[in-house]
Amino acid sequence: MFKDNFIKELSKITPDDGTKNYVLRQMNEVQKGQTKVKTRYRFTKKTRSFKAAVATVLCICIIALSTWIAAPSVNSGIITSSVSEGVPANVTYSGIYNLFSSIYKVQEAPKNVWDVIEKFFGLNFSLSAAPFGCGAADGSADFSKDVTEDITDAETSSTVLEDTEDYSTTNRQVNDVDEADIIKTDGKYIYTLNNENDMVYITRADKGKLKDAVMFSASMTEAASINYSQVEEMYVSSDRLIVIGTDSSDYDNTVTKSLIYDISDPENPKFKKSFAQSGNYISSRLVGDVLYMFTDKAFYDKPIEDDVSTYIPMLYETAAPDCPIPENNIFLFSGEIDRSYLIVTSVDCKEAKRIDSKTTLGGGDTVYANTESVYVAAKETSYHYLTDSILLEKYRDTTRLIRFGIDKDKLTAAAEGAVRGEILNQFSMDEHNGYFRIVTTVAGRITEGESTKKSFASTLSETTNALFVLDRDLKQVGSIVNLAPDERVYSVRFIGDYGYFVTYREVDPLFSVDISDPKSPKLLSALKIPGFSEYLHPYDDGLLLGIGKEDNYVKLSMFDISDPSMVLEKDKLICYSSSYSTASNHKAVLVNKEKNIIGFAGSDDYFIYSYDKEKGFVQRAKLPYVIKNEQNPDYSLSYSDVENTRGLYIGDYFYLCNLRGITSYSIDDFELVTQYSF
Amino acid sequence: MLFFWTLSSMEGQCKTGENALIDPAAAFETYSDMVYRLAFIRTGNKADADDILSEVFLRLVKNVHKIKSEEHLKPWLIRVTLNCSNSFLGSIKRRRQTEYSEADRAVFMEENSVLPAVLRLPEHQKCIVYMYYFEGYSVEEISKICSVPVGTVKSRLSRARDTLRLELKGENLDV
């Protein structure tokens, strides 16, 4: 009878039609490649009304950020670390909040971290007497003695190509900080990571000619049954190939792995070592030879006292014992905390050696990194109750921030803070001359002297946008708040002392704001233009490229930003391709001023434009994703073809790469040179 | 009306490519209830189940090429649902909410209902109870889907039954 009753009761639990309809629409949009749907935070009243807005419009706010911002003027947006504010009285862990707030010191691990973890996870034991960990910088095994494994028979004697020609790199936010992608080049070879079959293809590209060098499997797991591993992205740096992926063959314990290969001879890659850490992949960065990996690990089951892996994130590496993150590397956020950890590790890829690891309770989801600091932002979910028992909706209106100092030898948990509002993506954050800048969309208005407690009635009725300037300790020094009411940030880019951002709704003013005097930001100009930009890219001195949409077609804009008080849309061009949101993945965009190339994926073709100050945008080529031939007699274009296509150049040749193969063109006239299928 | 319109328009737009055997829209029609229920069993509330439902099917759209056959689809969806719901668990705020939703449950459940008892089970056991009783999977199948040894599935199931027997009354004792 249990079974019958269970089935009967559970059958009543179904998604309502509104939800179904909404999900189907999202699926449809993703399928058409139009939208990058942000995960979660979808079912609020607010979001729905945005989706319902038929006319989308743009405004650009230009903010001159002065680096000498010194006088803190507006404090209203910052969240202080007051702890139990806004927490209902009957929260189970109310005692812990105070504990966290009183012991939290980000510079050093609190002495009684174990007391906290014990209570936090409802454990009843004491570990404080028995510290664990792998010892400081242990595992510094001699690289030459490491396990190496030939992947291929060394049959090819690699031909030495002449000096590497000029070639393109993955489109990244910060110049010296590499970002992972599925297609990479080192100027001689093109590396393709196929996330559908976990294979790496290495193809030699020599003056447009393509020759297969080698292919091998970079699978994250040896589990044979149903394959739940997933390769994500890779790096190619000097003579290392690094493949990043997740292995969730044990579904309770997803780990993120990096496999390091020696490609000093790219035609004969050798597996060197793999490093892994608990949690789902958030992002990664490569600075010089040092790989930084960010994962998020939630613990949800009652921990087992004897099994440290049930409440502390673990580190794994080839030929070394599994070890939990050392206790003096565990940090705690103040304020409300999720039972999930953000885990940051650094690995020297050249030496195949783990350098450091840090973890903080509280999770994270977006990463900004330059060569000195890493900022990780975490969106906080708040639940809004109509009464004690009825959940009206949940919303996100606080972005928690943590800064890590990065160094060749170590990671330092340096500061924590929080701002009001929700960020769009990694471009919402930037650091310049020691100041951190962040643009957010805020539910409601920020009034001066306001605490974190908000009147829900007002927060739900409108949104505003804000820019905060924080110092390296993540204390607010300046801000502009209540910008563009009822609109939402759509793209952001910081260039030196200036910040640009696009918001949208039904009307389309283009704002220009000067905050060189942080005490009194001034509105400089307002201009109306149709359409909106989803990705902003500094193109040349005084020029800012925007890629976005107008009337559902791709729109290219060139903004003249030489005079911030008079920003103009200098040129624009509508590309009559039903729009594919290149903005959803900046790595799929190729922009190079010297070669005069602007490349991006349209819904049916890959487009290449050039820009000339007199002539404006000129279409140079429209390349098919897949060329019909004997191997592809009747292909049909799939979402994967569009999403996984990258354009790159080496010397005088342009290569269009996706998971099916590579096509090469002469870069001058885009004449087809050759085509190569995997 | 809108609902049906969306469905049909999606079929029109669907570019399935050479390798994709699965039509995401059709999969949604067949399995959305299953994903939603599993997410509900996992998180204990409908708001999170809404989000998980959306995330799972967006992942399906993106990974549809990886699914080799119709038989793989259902286990794939179960696994992804379990993975997606992990990030919704363990939040202190969720704790708070789960307590509230006890009252919620009373609204849509009759007296003597079994669901609250199932929802109170430890995470591992809940999912196995769901797959065993509701989806009718065998212990061996559950072991394959979750990559957990058969012995572990059996012991979790048996512990869940013990707990349920303690909590439930009357006819439901027949777990």
Rounded Cα distance between A597 and A451, Å, is 49
**pLDDT greater at residue A470 or residue B19:** A470
Q: Residue A145, exposed/middle/buried by CB under 10 A (0-12, 13-18, 19+)?
A: exposed
Nearest to B139 by CA among B113, B117, B160: B160
Q: Which residue has the tokens 């949409």?
A: A549
pLDDT number for residue A336 = 54
**CB contact (8 A) between residue A28 and residue B10:** yes
Interface check for A151 against chain B (CB to CB < 8 A): the answer is no
CA distance, residue A389 to nearest chain B CA (Å): 5
Q: What is the mean pLDDT of residues A332-360?
A: 82
Which range, A16-30, A70-84, A314-328, A366-380, is most confident? A366-380
Helix/strand/coil for A34: coil
Tell me the backbone φ, ψ of residue A347, rounded to 5 degrees: -130, 130
Length of chain A: 678
Interface check for A507 against chain B (CB to CB < 8 A): the answer is no
Interface check for A37 against chain B (CB to CB < 8 A): the answer is yes
Tokens of A615: 């002539």
pLDDT number for residue A53 = 36
Q: How many CB atoms lie within 10 A of CB A171?
A: 20
Q: Which residues contact A499 (CB under 8 A, 6 or more apart)?
A: A62, A63, A65, A430, A437, A439, A467, A492, A493
**pLDDT greater at residue A336 or residue A206:** A206
Q: Which residues contact A409 (CB under 8 A, 6 or more apart)?
A: A355, A356
Tell me the backbone φ, ψ of residue B164, rounded to 5 degrees: -65, -40
- Among candidates B61, B124, B129 on the partner chain, residue whose Cβ is nearest the Cβ of A27: B61
Max intra-chain CA distance, chain B: 55
Q: DSSP class of residue B131?
A: I
Q: What is the mean pLDDT of residues B151-164?
A: 88
Q: Which helix (H) or strand (E) holds B18?
A: none
Tell me the backbone φ, ψ of residue A10, rounded to 5 degrees: -70, -30
Beta bridge partners of A540: A543
**CB contact (8 A) between residue A24 and residue B25:** yes
Q: Which helix (H) or strand (E) holds A76?
A: none
Q: Which residues contact A463 (CB under 8 A, 6 or more apart)?
A: A46, A441, A442, A443, A444, A485, A486, A487, A488
* pLDDT tens per residue, range A383-425: 555 544 455 555 557 888 889 999 888 888 888 888 888 898 9
Average pLDDT, chain A: 73
User: Would you say residue A467 has pLDDT above 70?
Assistant: yes
Beta bridge partners of A649: A654
Task: Cite the beta strand spans of A386-426 per DSSP E.
Answer: 391-406, 411-420
Beta bridge partners of A346: A292, A356
Q: What is the mean pLDDT of residues B152-159?
A: 88
Rounded Cα distance between B78 and A630, Å, is 39
Are the beta carbons of A588 and A645 closer than 8 angstroms? yes
CA distances from A22 to A19, A98, A405, B54 (A): 5, 40, 41, 8
- Among candidates A21, A340, A388 on the partner chain, residue whose Cβ is nearest the Cβ of B90: A340
**CB contact (8 A) between residue A39 and residue B55:** yes
pLDDT number for residue A109 = 41
Nearest to A260 by CA among A350, A173, A332, A378: A350
Interface check for A88 against chain B (CB to CB < 8 A): the answer is yes
**CB contact (8 A) between residue A9 and residue B104:** no
Rounded Cα distance between A57 and A533, Å, is 10
Nearest to B64 by CA among B95, B97, B26, B102: B26
pLDDT number for residue A590 = 92
Are the beta carbons of B115 and B109 closer than 8 angstroms? yes
**pLDDT greater at residue A526 or residue B71:** B71
Percentage of residues in chain A with pLDDT exceeding 70? 66
Rounded Cα distance between B36 and A22, Å, is 14
Q: Which residues contact A441 (CB under 8 A, 6 or more apart)?
A: A421, A422, A424, A463, A464, A465, A466, A488, A489, A503
User: Would you say residue B69 has pLDDT above 50?
Assistant: yes
Confidence of residue B95 (pLDDT cuts 50, 70, 90): very low
Q: DSSP class of residue A444?
A: S
Are the beta carbons of B26 and B64 closer than 8 angstroms? no
Are the beta carbons of A91 and A100 closer than 8 angstroms? no
Length of chain B: 175
Q: What is the mean pLDDT of residues B58-81?
A: 84
Q: What is the mean pLDDT of residues B70-85?
A: 85
* pLDDT tens per residue, range A475-534: 888 888 888 887 888 888 888 778 888 887 644 555 655 656 555 555 666 666 777 888
Are the beta carbons of B53 and A19 closer than 8 angstroms? yes
* pLDDT tens per residue, range A103-139: 333 333 444 455 556 555 555 444 333 334 443 333 3
Q: Residue A159, exposed/middle/buried by CB under 10 A (0-12, 13-18, 19+)?
A: exposed
Interface check for A89 against chain B (CB to CB < 8 A): the answer is no
pLDDT number for residue A157 = 36
Ramachandran bin of A238, using left for φ above 0, alpha for ψ from -120 to 50, beta for the remaining angles: left
**CB contact (8 A) between residue A37 and residue B13:** no
* pLDDT tens per residue, range A572-615: 898 877 656 565 788 989 999 888 999 988 878 899 999 998 89
pLDDT number for residue B124 = 81
What is the pTM assigned to this prediction? 0.71
Percentage of residues in chain B with pLDDT exceeding 70? 71
Strand-pair category, A463-470 with A476-483:
antiparallel
User: Would you say residue A164 has pLDDT above 60?
Assistant: yes
**CB contact (8 A) between residue A639 and residue B17:** yes
Q: What is the mean pLDDT of residues A129-154?
A: 37
Confidence of residue B151 (pLDDT cuts 50, 70, 90): confident
Q: Which residue of B has its CA nearest to A337?
A: B92
Rounded Cα distance between B3 and A20, Å, is 8
Are the beta carbons of A630 and A611 closer than 8 angstroms? no
* pLDDT tens per residue, range A287-296: 999 999 999 8
Interface check for A229 against chain B (CB to CB < 8 A): the answer is no
Rounded Cα distance between A135 and A138, Å, is 6
User: Would you say residue A91 has pLDDT above 80?
Assistant: no
Q: Which of A331-340, A603-612, A614-623 has the lowest mean pLDDT?
A: A331-340
Rg (CA), chain B: 18
Proportion of chain A in helix, strand, coil states, percent, rounded to 5: 10, 45, 45
Rounded Cα distance between A172 and A287, Å, is 12
* pLDDT tens per residue, range B109-118: 556 678 878 8
Mutation for B interface: A7, A28, A392, most B CBs within 10 A: A28
Q: Residue A409, exposed/middle/buried by CB under 10 A (0-12, 13-18, 19+)?
A: exposed
Rounded Cα distance between A252 and A194, Å, is 26
Q: What ipTM goes with this model?
A: 0.81
Mutation for A interface: B2, B54, B55, most A CBs within 10 A: B54
H helices, E strands: number in chain B: 9, 0
Interface check for B76 against chain A (CB to CB < 8 A): the answer is yes
Q: Which of A194-208, A212-226, A237-251, B8-22 has the lowest mean pLDDT?
A: B8-22
- Among candidates A299, A391, A636 on the partner chain, residue whose Cβ is nearest the Cβ of B100: A391
Q: Which residues contact B136 (CB under 8 A, 6 or more apart)?
A: none
Nearest to A650 by CA among A43, A207, A257: A207
CA distance, residue B28 to nearest chain A CA (Å): 8
Q: Which residue of B has its CA nearest to A381?
A: B93
Interface check for A157 against chain B (CB to CB < 8 A): the answer is no
Tokens of B136: 């009718």
Ramachandran bin of A669, using left for φ above 0, alpha for ψ from -120 to 50, beta for the remaining angles: alpha
- Among candidates A6, A37, A225 on the partner chain, residue whose Cβ is nearest the Cβ of B147: A225
Rg (CA), chain A: 26
Q: Residue B111, exposed/middle/buried by CB under 10 A (0-12, 13-18, 19+)?
A: exposed
Rounded Cα distance between A43 and B71, Å, is 31
